[in-house]
Structure 1
């Protein structure tokens, strides 16, 4: 016997939010989608309707997270409702991840991060992929796993919420760099070298911020890094690629379908790295490129001209 359908709320009607809504409907859930430009009021979106609301999935751009969290605090939200963050980014004011903002606003609600190598257009075509539902609350992670898991959308669980989130966030900066590499037609060797050298940079930052090393070698780390850095479907990759073609950043972002979170993340990451005295050479060049301080060619030259050293740092 199939389980009774549940009412699932998606906050965010963009590309990723729409894909998650489709996945929920495919599982037989009653799905309500709220967006800032839609007609459905926020309070009506989260109100129980024809059954319980086991989870609210937040799939909005990073810039809107803090404001939406404040708005939700003014509404009656059951402490049993699982909050699922599907946003990848860092807050420019607090340097916090989305789930950290949500957890601070709703400390009594279970908090889950959903992240992995998930290109929306491929999922919409019914192509197979896998993702991670991460939470310190194992039952909440399992509940989200069951909400979305299907034949073509395999969901794994993880207890490292922060590491899972940071893997999906930090790789967006690398995707911009790889887009530049491909836009300049530097070849597969250069792309492979760049992605490989970017991984320890991600691990260094991610573990310093509280993630576990092994998480960054899983689906939400290395898996997401490979998907985002090797596909023109990635918005962050497209930013780098088009910068290498000579287009201005403002023009690229104006015509991009959705948000390239790597742009904001690069700026926040550099502030964080400077305060913590972390070496992030790839992110540094991406930051300089996005600020118009160097050309794409100069960014690549700066990375190639770094002093020679051992591949593996000495203990």
Structure 2
């Protein structure tokens, strides 16, 4: 595969704009599309080497269907930068794309990547995951520079799950901090959350070691410890007495954990998975329990061994 020279970024939210800025700084020609764009989707995609999906999980399937209907060349490499789970079959973004584009290489970009810090030129690292090694290498070279270190791996499923599930945990940690419960409570919550993430990963068949890498533990730590995290801010604001609607309006951006929490709650109920933190977050977001009750419920669970 040749070096990528032209990238089409679908989505003009904070993350899509940051990725476009990063690629431009690396010398690529970048075209950007959103539902409010004057340029057509076909014009933006035509001839591009990379097709970067940076829309919300709720809008991904619709945009993918629009792209599929164009019947463009299948030589472009997909880069999924969307984090979440589709409620229809609990599918990851790359799986949704693969259903529609089975002959195109698909890669996943995920890691501890707070968009505001990257936009400011602060150092960061990420992962490009794909079963297609050549495609992963092309994308790696397109994004990498002296401020953005890019690794590759061959577990796109685990990479996506880590990126999706940590958003739900960040809401829980934001709630904990909003209630001023301290560092001990926060550390315990993050550690037990990792156990839940591993449980979900095992259910889907992802590689365990992926969750201890950048797209797993790394992303979890960044999202759960920074006020720049939109999902953390949702939890923090809920703990301060704001409604979910008010919190989302205040951050003025998509918080994927709100969407993913409901999917995880369904998964836990139907498949019998033990996901107490995700379940409490889902109830909190649905206004079925208060922030204080959510924490109390987690602390009052039956005593058990840490490792089994």
Contact kept, 8 Å, 1:167 with 1:221, in 2: the verdict is yes
Deviation digits for residues 194-234 of structure 1 (CA, Å, limit 9, x no counterpart): 00110010011012112110000000000000000000000
Count of residues in correspondence between the two structures: 307
- Closer, same or farther: CA 36–186 of 1 in aligned 2, 3 Å: same
- CA separation of 1:4/1:81 partners in 2, compared to 1, >3 Å: closer, same or farther? closer
Structure 2: runs of 5+ lacking an equivalent? none
Partner residue in 1 for 2:248: 253
Q: What is the 5 A alignment of 1:228-239?
A: 228-239=223-234
2:140 matched to which residue of 1? Answer: 145
- 1:251 shift after superposition: 1.3
Query: SS of 1:199's equivalent?
Result: helix
Aligned to 2:22: 23
RMSD: 1.2
Q: Which one of 90, 99, 111 corresponds to residue 94 of structure 2?
A: 99
Shift of 1:274: 1.3
Which of 43, 53, 57 is the equivalent residue of 1:58? 53
What TM-score, normalized to structure 1? 0.95
Please give the alpha-carbon distance, in whole angstroms, between the structure 1 residues aligned to 2:269 and 2:296.
22
Q: C-alpha distance in 1, partners of 2:266/2:185?
A: 27
TM-score by length of 2: 0.98
Q: What is the distance in 1 between the residues matched to 2:89 and 2:272?
A: 18
SS in 2 for 1:74: helix
Kindly state the Cα deviation for residue 76 of structure 1 after the two structures are TM-superposed: 3.1
Query: Is the counterpart of residue 88 in structure 1 residue 108 in structure 2?
Result: no
What corresponds to 1:42 in structure 2?
A: 41
The whole-number CA distance in structure 2 between the counterparts of 1:300 and 1:307 is: 14
Match of 1:272 among 263, 267, 275: 267
Query: Aligned runs of 1:144-293 on 2, under 5 Å?
Result: 144-293=139-288
Q: Which runs of 5+ in 1 are unaligned?
A: none
Residues 115 and 131, structure 1, Cα contact 8 Å, conserved in 2: yes
Shift of 1:142: 0.7
Kept in 1, the 8 Å contact 2:4–2:50? The answer is no
1:128 to 118, 123, 127: 123
Which deviates more, 227-236 or 93-102? Answer: 93-102
- Tell me the SS of whatever aligns to 1:91: coil
- CA separation in 2, counterparts of 1:203 and 1:257? 31
Shift of 1:277: 0.6
1: CA distance, partners of 2:203 / 2:3: 43
Q: Take 2:46 and 2:4, find their aligned partners in 1: how far apart are those partners? A: 16
Compute the displacement of 1:307 (Å).
Answer: 1.1
Structure 1 residue 4: Cα displacement: 8.1
Between 1:108-117 and 1:89-98, the stretch displaced more is: 89-98
Q: 1:92: how far off?
A: 2.3
- Contact in 2 for aligned 1:24/1:147 (Cα 8 Å): yes
Match of 2:300 in 1: 305
Distance 1:222 1:158 in 2: 15
Tell me by how many angstroms 1:258 deviates. Answer: 1.6
Q: CA deviation at 1:80?
A: 1.7
